[in-house]
Amino acid sequence: MRPVSKILLSVLMAATTHAADPLPSWNDTSPKKAIIEFVKSVTTKGSADFVPAPERIATFDNDGCLWAEQPMYFQAFFIFDRIKQLAPQHPEWKTEEPFASVLKGDHKGALAGGEEALIKMTMATHTGMTTDEFNEIATDWVTTAKHPETGKLYTEMVYQPMLELLAYLRANDFKTFIVSGGGIDFMRPWTERVYGIPPEQVVGSSVKTKFEMRDGEAVVMRIPELNFIDDKEGKPVGIQTHIGRRPIFSAGNSDGDLQMHQWTQAGDGPRFSLYVHHTDAEREWAYDRDSHIGRFDKGLDEAKAKGWTVVDMKNDWKVVFPE
């Protein structure tokens, strides 16, 4: 039997304690009411909005939607730690950007090259090994590394209200998926333990792989070529490729999730799109239109124009992180 994480255990205990309230960490404001009303309508047999269980697909962004993403995406911290670990094998990195900036502790400088620099660092730190070796590396990091500002494990910086939402949907026969711009193989080693979402229900960006026989053993090697970016226009493509069903429920927090919401809403029948709006500078961070991480601008305008649910973190959530 697989061990139950403390975070999932807290969700199970909350569900038992608050059996009458499926979302105890949510304030009784309009987003909570809208979620419950939607779930009831699509799961009540005889309802005009009833949706058969196999079609109850829910997709969730990860960064900024299920766990925090400031002051930069958590996978970027993983990449920087990997560069420092591998630096003795690469003396050229002392003068080669963006690696030189990382080794000097200048994270802003390392990311100044934008997507090109990030891809270069990803290829150097995420490839040249088997999938099993990378799985072990990612697992070791996520179970030991701590956030530089809070001192918490990154997996302790997941959102308690969203954990409850995942559990509530699954209790009503929804199948929950992660659809993230983050690396698919970076997330898969720990999402089941933290979110209850198994690896086969994780969609993300990826590098190319190939099968090899190495010393008589069958392995899948990670090679330094980009395979797919699961962000913005890529999210509907990733959903179609990996899931094969259009979601009826989607959740995100940034403009990178806009196309996923548009794809969700384009289907027939009842649809629900949710945006998490980071408005709580005391318990987390407050940012939206001008943020270089998790920019929420076009998505905010479209959500308001089309009546999608926008969760105000400060006013709609009783707690942010698991206590």
119 or 323, greater pLDDT: 119
Could you tell me if 176 and 170 are in contact, meaning their C-beta atoms sit under 8 angstroms apart? yes
114: left (phi over 0), alpha (psi -120 to 50) or beta: left
Backbone angles phi, psi at 127, to 5 degrees: -130, 180
Contact 230, 204 (CB under 8 A): yes
Q: Could you give the CA distance from residue 49 to residue 30 in angstroms, rounded to a whole number? A: 20
Residue 1 has pLDDT above 70, yes or no: no
Mean per-residue pLDDT, 73-88: 98
SS (H, E, C) the chain: CCCCCHHHHHHHHHHHHCCCCCCCCECCCHHHHHHHHHHHHHHCCCCCCCCCHHHCEEEECCECCCECCCCCCHHHHHHHHHHHHHHHHCHHHHCCCCHHHHHCCCHHHHCCCHHHHHHHHHHHHHCCEEHHHHHHHHHHHHCCCECCCCCCEHHHCECHHHHHHHHHHHHCCCEEEEEEEEEHHHHCCCHHHHHCCCHHHEEEEEEEEEEEEECCEEEEEEEEEEEECCCCCHHHHHHHHHCCCCCCEEEECCHHHHHHHHHHHCCCCCCEEEEEECECCCCCCECCCCCCCCCCCHHHHHHHHHCCEEEEHHHHECCCCCC
Q: Give the per-residue pLDDT at 20.
A: 87
Which residues are CB-contacts of 136 (< 8 A; sequence separation ≥ 6)? none
Which domains are delineated in the chain? 6-68+157-316 (3.40.50.1000), 74-142 (no CATH)
pLDDT above 90 (res 168): yes
pTM score: 0.93
Mean pLDDT of the chain: 95
pLDDT at 15: 46
- The string of pLDDT tens digits covering residues 143-156 is 999 999 999 999 99
The sign one gets for the Cα dihedral 281, 320, 175, 42 is negative
Confidence label for 188 from pLDDT (cuts 50, 70 and 90)? very high
Compute the average pLDDT of residues 121-132.
97
pLDDT digits (tens, 9 = 90+) for 25-63: 999 999 999 999 999 999 999 999 999 999 999 999 999
Assess contact for 46 and 182: CB atoms under 8 A. Answer: no
Check residue 141 and give its pLDDT.
98
Strand partners, 311: 276
Mean pLDDT to the nearest integer, 177-182:
98
Q: pLDDT at position 17, please?
A: 41
Length of the chain: 323
Predicted confidence at residue 91, as pLDDT, reads: 97
Average pLDDT for 187-214: 98
181 pLDDT above the threshold of 80? yes
pLDDT in tens, 223-242: 999 999 999 999 999 999 99
Question: What percent of the chain is modeled with pLDDT above 70?
Answer: 94
What pLDDT is attached to residue 11?
A: 54
d(CA 307, CA 309): 6
